[in-house]
Amino acid sequence: MKFRKTAALAVAVLALTATACGGKEGSAGDKPGGVQPGASDVPALPKYVVATDVKLDSPTFTTAKERGKLVIGSKADQPYLGFEDQSTKKRSGFDVEIAKMIAAELGFTESQIEWKTVDSATRETAISKGQVDYYVGTYTINDKRKAQVGFAGPYYKAGADLLVRKDDTAITGPKAVKGKKVCSIKGSTPLQEIKKPEYGAQTTELGKYSDCVQQLLTKQVDAVTTDDAILKGYAAQNPEKLKVVGQPFTEEPYGVGLSKADKPLRDKVNDVLEAKIKDGTYKKIYDATLGLSGSEYTDPPAVERY
């Protein structure tokens, strides 16, 4: 009895929301000021040719082939890097393109990709438990993580930097944050760094970078620290209010995270990265995404095989 009523109620609530649907189409919020990936006056994204007849003795690849879908882990809240528009559900950004490029080389079309949003805190679990086939999302390669997951790449060299409000002249670099409130994600590498006595910042630890940026905009914190790529994305999204200091104080080589045991897949991804960096596809991706945020193109570091 009780459950029938509960169910009826649930259905009623659902019906209500369902009928509420059918509003405006398209992307809510501010329209990016002219610079938008895919717009006519900006560098276009490369087209990826989907490889056929890929043979790879990799357990991850074999299961993905069998299920007909490739599950890729990515961030969803980093403009120009790993971003999902909440009104159109479209993914865009540098990491997303790199992931698509690899998928094409593995023989998966764009419609065969299943995106999964995985936050920083749960990346290792998601990869090691096979929740995602591989993960592209500002994932710094380090030895601690190598104990749990495998890394292909690096495909990009980032470094921790500071994002501040545009009118802020006091924070000129990591040496000027003593006593200031710096926000980042709980447990992230730059946060551990800036906490050290030589910098001496007060830290605020939240769950998402966008939470930190909102706190910066509302003057709850004085700076946001994380990899410059992420920060430049935010600065480009909101150039009236935010700027990046431009004094990187760590090195963060980004890798593609995948199962630790799956060496064949790791080698394959490394091959793809090397080839695509060589033939210029990589630079095209960069120019059409991260390049728009003002950061200059530099050649990525050499792929490390291990």
Cis previous bond, 154, omega within 30 = yes
Mark residues 193-212: x for contact with another protein by CB under 8 A, - for none: ----------xxxxxx-xx-
Rule CB under 8 A: choose which of 62, 63, 87, 109 binds another protein. 87
CA angle 62, 66, 68 (to 5 degrees): 115
Decide if 243 contacts 164 (C-beta within 8 A).
yes
Name the one residue in this structure whose structure tokens are 């809510």: 28
Taking the complex as a whole, the smallest distance from the CB of residue 52 to another protein amounts, in Å, to: 30
CA distance 120 to 167: 30
Residue 228: C-alpha distances to residues 52, 81, 139, 140, 240 (Å): 37, 11, 13, 13, 18
Taking the complex as a whole, the smallest distance from the CB of residue 223 to another protein amounts, in Å, to: 13
Taking the complex as a whole, the smallest distance from the CB of residue 273 to another protein amounts, in Å, to: 26
CA distance 116 to 101: 17
Residue 34 binding another protein, by CB under 8 A? no
Taking the complex as a whole, the smallest distance from the CB of residue 138 to another protein amounts, in Å, to: 15
Rule CB under 8 A: choose which of 72, 213, 231, 288 binds another protein. 213
Cis previous bond, 32, omega within 30 = no
Residue 36 binding another protein, by CB under 8 A? no
- Using CB under 8 A, list all residues that contact another protein: 2-3, 5-7, 9-10, 13-14, 17-18, 20-30, 76-77, 79, 83-89, 117-119, 121-122, 124-126, 129-131, 144, 147-148, 181, 186-187, 203-208, 210-211, 213-215, 217-220, 237-238, 240-241
